[in-house]
Chains A and B, each alone.
Chain A
Amino acid sequence: MEYHDIVIIGGGPAGLSAAVAAHDAGVRDILILERDDHLGGILNQCIHNGFGLHTFQEELTGPEYADRYIRQIAERHIPYKLCTIVSDISAEREVLYINSEEGAVRLKAGAVVLAMGCRERPRGALALPGFRPAGVFTAGTAQRLVNIEGYMVGKEVVILGSGDIGLIMARRMTLEGAKVKVVAELMPYSGGLKRNIVQCLEDYGIPLRLRHTVTKIHGKARVEGVTIAEVGDDRKPIPGTEEFYSCDTLLLSCGLLPENELSKQAGVRLDSVTGGPSVDDRLETSVPGVFACGNVLHVHDLVDYVSEEAARAGEQAAAYVQTGERKQTAAAALEGKGGVRYTVPQTLHIADMADRVTVRFRVADVYRDKQLVVYYDGREVRRIKKRILAPGEMEELVLMKSSFADWPDVQTITIALEDQHGDA
């Protein structure tokens, strides 16, 4: 059976960054498997700017950001296969891939990096009443059709959900001459970045209706309109608030789901909140030698953080190949409380952790003037003031190895949001 030191599943921003970092850590036998016909993943259709401020200290478009990494892959002569889909990964790191030239090929990997990204929540998962007319797209599908294939998907548009892709597409459709009538958001806040609300909606006078949802899709062959209603605190439509919007297109921007079918086949344990693998501080999953990074691990807000996280996964995969399986030390569990929905990583091996470990998390609601409090087995060790936290923005916290000097046997690290002292 063909063997490679590191096999990376996915050639998007996560896979590319992981490959570059693994190469720079000294591993030469790397293979990237990508199902699309170009490297770069979703960045290829994200033609808007705003990428790279952290990584390159300049504002790039998605294709430009991807190009920076694709060049690094080329400079290092890292091999990759396009139009190649992986259909199985085993717990022994046997990878089965398929493409039209080679057919089905099974290979063995010294280490596997999962970098498959995520998928959009489709209409079927949203329980939207009505027929199945043409004209209903997920925002990302519309983005691909407009930006890559060059097809306009409609003239009069309603968008359900205010995730970033939906906001970006509201502007994109407007620039291409469509009329975007409204963006309806079920929640009392947008899941998108503030700058996108301002630059994609407010710039073009597109109304954002919070606490609203689509209750019916009208039309049989093609969308003819939608009914939008206000929702109560239980997120159920309030009778009597229905309004009809005529439109020929409905775009859905209702959340992203990490794409972990392969992870499950490999026996990787998933986190029920993130929908991605549960990982330790080396971004290693429950299956030894299988690492995860990017949107397959948890949905990120900025690609810059994907690149940084994936570079760590690439380095750790390289270390696994070079030095073998990590000796089993006790792992502390990380837990979120008081509105901290999850943490990545989920566990931390204190004995052999890096000097600094970045923990990323998201919160459940919009919070103002809170404190982020860190507890080691119930003992408060840090308290950080936070003026604002929002579900659309990923938060981070750095845990220092030195902070465990007095408490090497901590079993639970709690990250909690609390009211400021004196307010409670």
Chain B
Amino acid sequence: MEMHELTCIQCPMGCPLTVSVDGDKVTVSGNTCPRGEVYGKKEITAPTRTVTSTVAVEGGELPRVSVKTATDIPKDKIFAVMDAIRAAKVKAPVLIGDVLIKNAAGSGVDVIATKTVEKA
């Protein structure tokens, strides 16, 4: 059996959770509400995060455009997606919501612009 210690972030309480994994069976203790159980299970079995960063813009009013993954991605893909973001370069104008990188690092998730950058 595997034990994990983590802090719940569903509310300011910050309950210290203990998640035990025994084969397919995942149990959470230390939570004081049902949200803690859901959070604890997901964090241990399939943790995800939204990645935000910036992509270089050519010919824009600003040198960078802010971006995010369109949905959250598996936590272990964060640095692979960051590599794709760092390698990318786009031409102005960029509109908020534009897809800048399709299927970033094979995550199945697109990287999209979170602001508009007009031509210089």
Judging by beta carbons under 8 Å apart, are A199 and B54 in contact? no
**CA gap between A147 and B65 in the complex, in Å:** 8
Given A48-B52, A147-B66, A149-B63: A64 in contact with B115 (beta carbons within 8 A): yes
Q: Give the distance to chain A from B77, nearest Cβ to Cβ, in Å.
A: 13
* A:195-213 near B, CB below 8 Å: 195, 197-199, 202-203
Query: Given the complex, which residues of A lie within 8 Å of B29, measured CB to CB?
Result: none
Q: Give the distance to chain A from B34, nearest Cβ to Cβ, in Å.
A: 16
Judging by beta carbons under 8 Å apart, are A61 and B66 in contact? yes
Judging by beta carbons under 8 Å apart, are B12 and A147 in contact? no
| A387 close to chain B: CB less than 8 A | yes
Most chain B CB within 10 A, of A48, A199, A387, is at A48
| A147 to chain B: closest residue by CB | B54
Given A47-B66, A150-B64: A195 in contact with B9 (beta carbons within 8 A): yes
Most chain A CB within 10 A, of B51, B66, B86, is at B66
**CA gap between A387 and B11 in the complex, in Å:** 11
| A54 close to chain B: CB less than 8 A | no
| B49 close to chain A: CB less than 8 A | yes
Given A64-B96, A198-B7: A175 in contact with B115 (beta carbons within 8 A): no
| A390 close to chain B: CB less than 8 A | yes
Most chain B CB within 10 A, of A49, A59, A67, is at A49
**CA gap between A203 and B6 in the complex, in Å:** 11
**CA gap between A176 and B86 in the complex, in Å:** 8
**CA gap between A388 and B14 in the complex, in Å:** 9
Judging by beta carbons under 8 Å apart, are A61 and B52 in contact? yes
Query: Given the complex, which residues of B lie within 8 Å of A149, measured CB to CB?
Result: 63-64
| A393 to chain B: closest residue by CB | B12
Judging by beta carbons under 8 Å apart, are A49 and B64 in contact? no
Q: Give the distance to chain B from A200, nearest Cβ to Cβ, in Å.
A: 11
Most chain A CB within 10 A, of B68, B79, B86, B116, is at B68
**CA gap between A203 and B62 in the complex, in Å:** 30
**CA gap between A124 and B75 in the complex, in Å:** 39
Judging by beta carbons under 8 Å apart, are A49 and B7 in contact? no
| B109 close to chain A: CB less than 8 A | no
Interface size on A, residues (CB 8 A): 32
| A44 close to chain B: CB less than 8 A | yes
Query: Given the complex, which residues of B lie within 8 Å of A47, measured CB to CB?
Result: 52-54, 66-68, 114
| A76 close to chain B: CB less than 8 A | no
**CA gap between A194 and B66 in the complex, in Å:** 24
**CA gap between A174 and B17 in the complex, in Å:** 26
Query: Given the complex, which residues of B lie within 8 Å of A49, measured CB to CB?
Result: 50, 52, 68
Count class of interface residues, chain B: 20 to 34
**CA gap between A334 and B75 in the complex, in Å:** 46
| A149 to chain B: closest residue by CB | B63
| A148 close to chain B: CB less than 8 A | yes
Judging by beta carbons under 8 Å apart, are A175 and B78 in contact? yes
* B:99-120 near A, CB below 8 Å: 114-116
| B1 close to chain A: CB less than 8 A | no
Judging by beta carbons under 8 Å apart, are B54 and A175 in contact? no
| A63 close to chain B: CB less than 8 A | yes
**CA gap between A393 and B115 in the complex, in Å:** 28
Judging by beta carbons under 8 Å apart, are B114 and A199 in contact? no
| B87 close to chain A: CB less than 8 A | no
Judging by beta carbons under 8 Å apart, are B7 and A150 in contact? no
| B46 close to chain A: CB less than 8 A | no
Judging by beta carbons under 8 Å apart, are A194 and B114 in contact? no
Most chain A CB within 10 A, of B14, B52, B62, is at B52
A199: contacting residue among B49, B62, B82, CB under 8 A: B49
Query: Given the complex, which residues of A lie within 8 Å of B53, measured CB to CB?
Result: 47, 175-176
Judging by beta carbons under 8 Å apart, are A194 and B12 in contact? yes
Given A47-B54, A150-B63: A388 in contact with B13 (beta carbons within 8 A): yes
Given A147-B54, A148-B62: A61 in contact with B68 (beta carbons within 8 A): yes
**CA gap between A128 and B39 in the complex, in Å:** 40
**CA gap between A59 and B70 in the complex, in Å:** 11
| B56 close to chain A: CB less than 8 A | yes
Query: Given the complex, which residues of A lie within 8 Å of B68, measured CB to CB?
Result: 47, 49, 61
Judging by beta carbons under 8 Å apart, are B52 and A194 in contact? no
Q: Give the distance to chain A from B114, nearest Cβ to Cβ, in Å.
A: 4
Judging by beta carbons under 8 Å apart, are B116 and A67 in contact? yes
**CA gap between A177 and B21 in the complex, in Å:** 33
Sampled A-B contacts (12; CB under 8 Å): A44-B115, A49-B50, A60-B114, A62-B66, A63-B96, A64-B115, A146-B54, A149-B63, A150-B63, A175-B82, A203-B49, A388-B14
Closest 8 CB pairs of A and B: A63-B115, A47-B66, A195-B9, A150-B64, A61-B114, A150-B63, A194-B14, A63-B114
Identify 7 new A-B residue pairs, CB closer than 8 A, beyond the known A194-B12, A198-B6, A202-B7. A48-B52, A150-B63, A175-B79, A202-B6, A203-B49, A388-B12, A388-B14
